[in-house]
């Protein structure tokens, strides 16, 4: 987790771990399909409701769709807006196994995602994105949920790619 990111500091709750597990299942599916193993899940949780409801889940499909924008977060946002019938996700929590890239953070901003919860940090692109003003001003960012598992899956994926060469 990025210690310098003040918005990223929140105690990991059982609910966050539960929903991150859904995103992690998607990441494993991406791994099995030869995609970069990133998964996302979106939970609809209006103010005052104790429990959220899963409305979207997706994994990277860049290779399968030959589409550089087919990131887990982008696909999940599209599913969630279709499910809710509107372009805003201001009552939603987006769970993603790896800290989002610039493109995905931009989509989250325009969709006004209420909270972003990520597993492992992405120091090359994620840190600067999430600790800047890329997201909606009211968006809460929480990092480090299932961090070790998410990081290990990515490391295993890239190690297997290097060994296959």
Residue 131 annotated as part of some ligand binding site: no
Residue 71 annotated as part of some ligand binding site: yes
* Placement of tokens 């901003």 in the chain: 109
Residue 92 annotated as part of some ligand binding site: no
Please confirm, yes or no, whether 147 is among the known catalytic residues: no
Does residue 24 contact residue 119 with C-beta atoms inside 8 Å? yes
Beta strands, E only, the chain: 39-44, 53-59, 92-98, 115-120, 140-143
- 116 CB contacts (<8 Å, ≥6 apart)? 93, 94, 96, 100, 108, 130, 135, 139, 140, 141, 142
By C-alpha distance, which of 17, 62, 70, 68 is closest to 43? 17
Active-site choice (26, 35, 73, 122): 73
Residue 151 CA to residue 20 CA, distance in Å, equals 13
Catalytic positions, written as ranges: 73
Annotated binding site: 71, 101, 104
Annotated binding site for Zn(2+): 71, 101, 104
């Amino acid at each position: 987790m990025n210690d310098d990111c003040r918005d990223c500091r929140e105690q990991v709750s059982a609910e966050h771990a539960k929903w991150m597990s859904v995103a992690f299942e998607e990441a494993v599916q991406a791994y099995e399909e030869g995609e970069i193993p990133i998964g996302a899940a979106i939970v609809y949780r209006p103010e005052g409701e104790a429990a959220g409801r899963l409305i979207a889940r997706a994994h990277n499909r860049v290779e399968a769709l030959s589409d550089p924008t087919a990131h887990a977060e982008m696909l999940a946002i599209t599913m969630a807006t279709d499910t809710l019938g509107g372009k805003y996700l201001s009552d939603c929590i987006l769970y993603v196994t790896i800290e989002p890239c610039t493109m995905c953070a931009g989509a989250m901003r325009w969709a006004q995602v209420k909270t972003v919860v990520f597993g492992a940090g992405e120091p090359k692109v994620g840190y600067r994105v999430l600790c800047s003003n890329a997201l909606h001003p009211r968006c809460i960012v929480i990092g480090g949920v299932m961090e070790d598992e998410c990081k290990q899956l990515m490391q295993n994926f890239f190690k297997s790619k290097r060994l296959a060469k």
